[in-house]
Chains A and B, each alone.
Chain A
Amino acid sequence: MPTADDLRPLAVDLALLGATLMLFAVDLGLPHGRKRWLGVLSSALLAGLFVLTFFVDTEGSAFGGSYVGGAWPLLFKRIALAAGALAALGSVDHVDRHFPTRQGEFYLLMMFSLMGMTLLPGARDLLLFVVAFEMMGIPLAMMASYAKTEDLKGVHRHAAEAGLKLYLISAVSTAITLFGLSYVYGLTGSTRLDVIAQAPLSPLLGVGMMLTVAGMSFKVGAVPFHMWVPDTYQGAPTPFVAFLSVAPKASGFAAMTAMLLVAFKNNREQVLSVVLLMSLASITIGNLLALPQKDVKRLLAYSGIAQVGYMLIGLVAGGSYGVGMLLFFVSGYVATNMGAFLVLEAIAPQRTGITLDDVKGLSRRSPWLAAALLLFLLSLAGIPFVVGFWGKLMVFMAAYQAGYGWLVLFGALMAIVSLWYYLQVARAAYMGDAPTEEVVPVKVTPTLATAIAVCLTLVLGMGAYPRPFIEQASAAARSFLGEAP
């Protein structure tokens, strides 16, 4: 029987469940025409939960060790909740404009997906893993196809494709992960990660471990499981893409680190060689394929694939420093990428596809949006004074320390390639002529503007004073690996 102590590590997740139910009830009671407040409410609820994480004690473990609390999962929960709050705030007007009758479901799906994300980092049991993974993934596929063609004729025709691709690749990956897990379970007789860690190595266990880790890398969008990413980003509603591009990645990394460093900790070297290959492939393919893109969302999709490659460097480096800096990198990336997509939403709220031509002349249409976009792009490129620089620097330092000097060199060279396409966007915003003669100012709704402002503050703040964030991340990583704080 679960006791009260068992529930302590689940405090945040249970509160999230409560918030979700509350949202559901409000949705039932709210008359049509007022539904846009659901977005504001869910954002407020998530922000409240985010604040709550600073006041709860989640130490300990639940259900006989299947679920753990503590600093490491808590930090991931915070990232997911913050991403959710910002994405909900950024979605308010888009959802109200395009899906006025289906608003409640949108935010409920987001909350359900978030519940999967908050559960995932604490899971230490294979079954819980799979359930949390699917709980996170299936609502995402539904949201990706949310813009059905009937809304605006012909304009949203990519939506079904976006959702279907995400769903199919997700299903295949899950099937393969489950296949791998069945080997792992069969050979070790347990679904608990700490028990699996004790099992002797055998060919079948090798197959199982590899397939598990590979299947999980689908969620983070690493090569070769990346192909859904550009198509889905291009076709799905932009504020949702802002969410999709950051939150599942953070939780996906939580799951991967748990698998690699807890379940397979005695055999991690070989698994890491596959992770290393995926990292190299992601950096290369992501950066090179971003170069010829004319659609900014596709460009950011490939850039995201490359960024995942950099995050995987932190995983390859390993140790509390490596994974800690991975976590720091991810938290900076969440603010940056979310901000970049929200700016795109502000520029072209009517469409799902946004080309470089749409960005042209932005600096004259809205100097503030252009400046924000520039800073987000600089952060993605890793230029000093914005958070992306510290993220890259720290991950590189960890990799060099772990003896991967050549990987650092490779990553740094490819970062220069990335500068090319990031600057293409910045150049369009600052140096391109607006498509029309007259300068049409961009109207940004207050909710969207707030969300962008928060992202910008985080990007600048974490860039100017990264210390508390880095310290939190390293402390969490040390507690995760059971090292002295």
Chain B
Amino acid sequence: MRAIDWALLSTFLPLATALLLVLVSPLRRTGLGAGLVSVVSAVATFVGAVMVLASRFGAEAGVVHRTIQWLPHSALGGVAHGRGAIELGVHVDGISATMLVVVTFVALCVQVFSIGYMAEEPKADFGRYFTWQSLFLFAMNSLVIAPNLLQLFLGWELVGLVSYLLIGYWWKKPSAARAALKAFWITKFADMGLLAGLIVLFLATGTFDWTVTTAAAGTVTLLLFVAVMGKSAQFPLHIWLPDAMEGPTPVSALLHAATMVAAGVFLVVRAFPLFEQAPNTLTVMAYVGSFTALFAAVVAVVQTDIKKVLAYSTCSQLGYMVCALGAGSQAAGFFHLTTHAFFKALLFLAAGSLIHGVHSNELSHMGGLLKKMKVTSGAFIIGSLALAGVPGLAGFFSKDLILEEVLHRGLWAPLGALLVAAFLTAFYMGRVMWVALLGEPSEHAKHAHESGPSMLAPLIGLSVLAIGVGYFGGTLSGLYGEPVHFHLSAIGIVATVLGLSGLGISYWMFGAPQGGKAILEAFAPVGRLARSGAVNGFFAWSYRSVMTRVAAAIGWFDRYVIDGLINGIAYGTLEAGSRLRVIQTGRVQDYVYVVVAAMLLIGLYGAFWGR
């Protein structure tokens, strides 16, 4: 089989699985049976994706671009230039091959994990869940292999639709149903930017290809970026992401860490030839991305729900990617997408395992889990360290690459924001680690027990990648452009120092009293200094009165102002609807008055222009 066949297999096998589960309801209702079918199909899908990626290193490594015409030029009103047809098909190159592997691997891990995590669900719901998982994989893969932006848009919309179903999986919880609607509505609002961008692009160039050169690139890319802001949760359209944590945790790992939210960044990576023609859009992206990175990191500091911390962290990391792309580096942005997908999915799944253990999302309900849940805690620590940018782990390489690119472009303000965000990231992840894993065990945590093998296996698999994938940056970027070569730069050292100090400070604030005495003694001199009253007091004071307050204030601003503003618009629209109802009186004489009045006005207008 050739690359194109494997790509098609990876796309349509999940669709076939979903259809099978939809149509054969006895199979769906067995629950576990449906899950196993879905997992087997996900394995085959992953194998297909790996074969696609392998083909990039083989003899037929060239770009494969195969399309069929869906709507001919003539059906589109004879747009002036170009071929102007709507085509669907497959595009295999380094970018789509890499993304395909990322998506299918994370999806596979999440599905295996879900078998254990969702085991207590009613059987029919369990089957329904796996049906949607398979459908999601189809939607996402059809987006990834899209040969043009129109197909990408179709996949994009389908992804949004399935995510609505998955977030609202626990529809009996009103908050889940609301969150699902909100996520759908806001991303849908942003999607209109993509649709508008496509229309402008098509009418300007007669094609939906991302390779065209056009004077309209500025408008098109700005419109596309609106969609990116919605899907990839960039300020101020990020507000749906924390709410979406109402869905099952594996769903958050799949959608809100690795795949769906990354689709926005993927769109920019994919359409980078267009974005390169629009330097102004790139600048906007650099600023929006870096601001989101900083803003979300600050808010993450004060969250008490482990999933909310991870959600804001995802916003923040997506900000990094957007900023990197805005700095003009396709490779840095896409590489960070790759590494982030693995370690953030790992974090979400490990968090899910912790939640499974203590039956609560609250950090205060955890504590001391390291002893009870060794494998999960180990995985969570690996993920956290990778996210914090500890040298040697995946996040370190990609973050360093981004910072270097931003520095190289001389974007000073974004660079500063990213560096502060790097410090905060390490700090809040450190906080979660110390509180949840070490800390004083709470009532809930006392009865915690390690999760079953189906939940641990994916954690181990993802851990390996969260450690290892960073070393393949050069190989992967070589697939679609100049391979980037990693070298430790000055800015990288600064970021590393910031990250390590973030971890250290958080340890000193949240971890020191309970565990880790040995570490403390190893750094005895530092420890002595740290325990000395003045320094202690200074840090305690600065944390309590400055940092938490600032973070809480920004968190409040996010919750009530940004969120409130968007809710306000929605509420205002609904209110306008209610107010307008009075014009529909139900009295037929009023209707006749309206008709006659309108006719009079229209008639007068006609007389006026007929003069």
Contacts and interface: CB of A to CB of B under 8 A. Distances in A.
> Is B one of A's binding partners?
yes
Contacts of A408: 196, 199
Contacts of A417: 573
A207 B611 CA distance: 11
B196 A409 contact: yes
Contacts, number: 176
A398 B199 contact: no
Contacts of B580: 285, 288-289
Contacts of B592: 168-169, 172
B192 A416 contact: yes
Contacts of B199: 393, 396-397, 400, 408
A168 B578 contact: no
B78 A206 contact: no
Contacts of B188: 416, 419
A202 interface: yes
Contacts of A214: 598-599, 602
A47 interface: no
A47 B135 CA distance: 36
B525 interface: no
Given A210-B603, A384-B157, A423 B184 contact: yes
A270 B609 contact: yes
Contacts of A369: none
A206 B610 contact: yes
A206 B577 contact: no
A467 B71 contact: yes
Contacts of B202: 397
A452 interface: no
Among the interface residues A210, A218, A385, which one has the most CB atoms of the partner chain B within 10 A? A210
Interface in B163-200: 168, 171-172, 177, 181, 184-185, 188-189, 192, 195-196, 199-200
A187 B362 CA distance: 80
A149 to B, nearest CB: 18
Interface stretch (A59-67, A87-95, A426-434): A426-434
Interface string A383-404: 1110001000110111011000
Of B157, B594, B609, most A-chain CB atoms within 10 Å: B609
Interface stretch (B257-265, B553-561, B581-589): B581-589
B516 interface: no
Contacts of B70: 465, 467
Given A427-B177, A467-B70, A401 B77 contact: yes
Contacts of B1: none
A389 B161 CA distance: 14
A207 B609 CA distance: 9
A176 interface: yes
Contacts of B158: 384-385
Contact of B74 (A209, A325, A394, A474): A474
Contact of A202 (B578, B584, B610): B610
Contacts of B605: 210, 274
Contacts of A393: 195, 199
B74 A471 contact: yes
Given A176-B599, A214-B598, A401 B586 contact: no
A431 B192 contact: no
A124 interface: no
A34 to B, nearest CB: 37
A203 B610 contact: yes
A289 B195 contact: no
A122 B298 CA distance: 67
Nearest to A464: B70
B606 A206 contact: yes
Contact of B573 (A201, A291, A320, A466): A291
Contacts of A367: 25
Nearest to A288: B577
A206 B573 CA distance: 37
B594 A321 contact: no
A207 B577 contact: no
Given A203-B611, A400-B203, A470 B75 contact: yes
B154 interface: yes
A342 interface: no
Contacts of B153: 384
Interface range for B: 35 or more
Contacts of B578: 291-292
Interface stretch (A38-46, A190-198, A225-233): A225-233
B203 A401 contact: yes
A246 interface: no
B595 A173 contact: yes
A430 B203 contact: no
A435 to B, nearest CB: 15
Given A203-B607, A384-B158, A321 B595 contact: no
A415 interface: yes
Contacts of B594: 224, 227
Nearest to A321: B77
A401 B598 contact: no
Contact of B591 (A180, A210, A228, A285): A228
B108 to A, nearest CB: 25
Nearest to A231: B586
A235 to B, nearest CB: 11
Nearest to B177: A431
A269 B79 CA distance: 23
B596 interface: yes
Interface in A270-309: 270, 274, 285, 288-292
Interface in A213-250: 214-215, 218, 224-225, 227-228, 230-231
B534 interface: no
A231 B580 CA distance: 16
B607 A207 contact: yes
Interface string B58-95: 00000000000011101111110000000000000000
7 contacts: A202-B610, A203-B606, A224-B594, A383-B157, A394-B76, A397-B76, A433-B172
Interface of B: 25, 70-72, 74-79, 153-154, 157-158, 161, 168, 171-172, 177, 181, 184-185, 188-189, 192, 195-196, 199-200, 202-203, 570, 573-574, 576-578, 580-581, 584, 586, 588, 590-592, 594-599, 602-611
Question: Nearest 5 CB-CB pairs, A to B?
Answer: A206-B610, A321-B77, A210-B606, A291-B577, A431-B171
Given A383-B161, A401-B203, A408-B196, 13 more contacts: A207-B610, A214-B599, A215-B599, A227-B594, A270-B610, A325-B77, A378-B161, A394-B76, A397-B203, A401-B77, A405-B200, A431-B172, A431-B177
